[in-house]
Chain A
């Protein structure tokens, strides 16, 4: 089988899929692609089954030499892409011949980019997922980020699909949406006064440099607790906004701890998690409150839109095949 030889791994590049679901009661966080939309689109572009693992880049991509046999790839996210030093378009399938050098450059906007290969990478699932959980050393390639000199084996495409028309797909970038991150208050909003909750909803915060796949630490105004900052540990969900003793919010991301002991003032809704995943240190953000029903409607609408878009991409294969 073909492979990718890593010439330059980028800043933080890990194998991710839709996550390791159903083990949170055993202390295992879901992990998985932080921008599930760009992830889903990359798989559709190369004709992979939904959920096939791919590389997730952070801020900048990487450089890879293709092994014998070549492969078909697509890059999503707002990334620069070069094949043998020639710029090519993201959101499009490309055929890479043996020894070709693929370079994924920096993110022009947002923080994450995705590289899908037709057939996927050859990695063994751990608890049903190939997603890398670095804290715990699970999944991916040896449980860690890829490194210079690694040879990343590719799996054989399950079916030899004809490469679809080379016209780039319309971009579907979550970071294009400019509005506050929408949250539902709670489950511990009772630990904060109404005035502090209003302050949380009206002030702006900045994503700090101490932000990673576990959580985003925010700088800006400190939120004051009504009655202390220690609670008896309970579950932390993806998108939970904890207020620790310092008062500076921490938003739990996909590699979070499954339990914790700080009050949670609010939770980011699902429809805004991909946009949150595209935020990078230095970005500003603010929050607005929605109802649970409003959040559910937004997620369901988002799923319908994404499915229509993916169906359109898959049609390209059917038209050619």
Chain B
């Protein structure tokens, strides 16, 4: 734990002899999440022998290791040194423009959600597609992206009973978060739309579209465009670097 008031605090915890966990705090916060992805990048660049995986989440980084190659005490010292270094200038961020067909068969909870918040459905779409979201974490299912930055007016509790099958590409709202589903899976979130982009294709050169730290902006499309893009198995959405 850092004692310097100027330094944001962190905690290093053991996950048995599997991993070390650097915990930046019990919050969903863009600054905390930026520290996580910055540390993940710095740790990857350090190429520490014996480190077998880096798993960034909302509020912490898990560093998996093989104790036959590096002991946890040595790894912990290396990570503390990396944590002591000032964060480098912010790296450019990949910004995705992700087409979404909102409502109808692709977003069966849109009308209900609009009613709940006493908004016009078009206003829900406008609010949801007006901002850039940060990919805070990939988890739950292969390629499933948890996004932060949802307008407070759209915060909506999860459903009491989850649906057993929600299609791949579904865009949903759960609490203060929104998400892009990758593969068909159960979900208790509210379904507002669907993207024709496939965020996880195991056989594709890069099987995953998104990684933690990316930004996503949703672009509303109609059903016809959805069908047209969905019919192209190789379709990839556009992205640009933002510095």
Contacts and interface: CB of A to CB of B under 8 A. Distances in A.
A234 B58 contact: yes
B130 interface: no
B67 interface: yes
Nearest to B19: A237
A300 interface: yes
A292 B72 contact: yes
B68 A303 contact: yes
B13 A259 contact: no
Contacts of B57: 233-235, 259
B132 interface: no
Interface stretch (A46-54, A89-97, A111-119, A180-188): A180-188
A225 B37 CA distance: 30
B137 interface: yes
Contact of A259 (B28, B139, B203): B139
A135 B23 CA distance: 29
A150 to B, nearest CB: 21
A136 B140 CA distance: 11
A41 B224 CA distance: 56
A26 B208 contact: yes
A292 B146 CA distance: 32
A21 B53 contact: yes
Contact of B62 (A26, A234, A295, A300): A234
Given A136-B183, A235-B55, A292 B17 contact: yes
A296 B19 CA distance: 11
A186 B13 contact: yes
Contacts of A183: 16
B138 interface: yes
A270 B18 CA distance: 7
A278 interface: no
Tell me which of B17, B68, B142 has the highest count of chain A C-beta atoms within 10 A of its own C-beta.
B17
B140 A257 contact: yes
Contacts of A127: 202, 207
Interface residues of A, number: 44
A85 interface: no
A239 interface: yes
Contact of B15 (A237, A260, A303): A237
A187 B208 contact: no
Contacts of A238: 18
B145 to A, nearest CB: 9
B99 interface: no
A24 B139 CA distance: 8
B62 A235 contact: yes
A270 to B, nearest CB: 5
B164 to A, nearest CB: 12
B142 A239 contact: no
A239 B16 contact: yes
Contacts of A21: 52-53
A234 B52 contact: no
B13 A25 contact: no
A296 B13 CA distance: 15
A154 interface: no
Contact of B142 (A138, A188, A266): A138
Contacts of B141: 27, 135-136, 257
B5 interface: no
B35 interface: no
A59 interface: no
A126 interface: yes
Interface in B102-146: 137-144, 146
Given A24-B53, A27-B138, A27-B142, A235 B60 contact: yes
A25 B17 contact: no
17 contacts: A22-B53, A126-B203, A135-B185, A184-B15, A187-B23, A234-B21, A234-B23, A234-B62, A237-B15, A237-B16, A237-B62, A237-B64, A257-B140, A267-B18, A292-B73, A293-B73, A295-B16
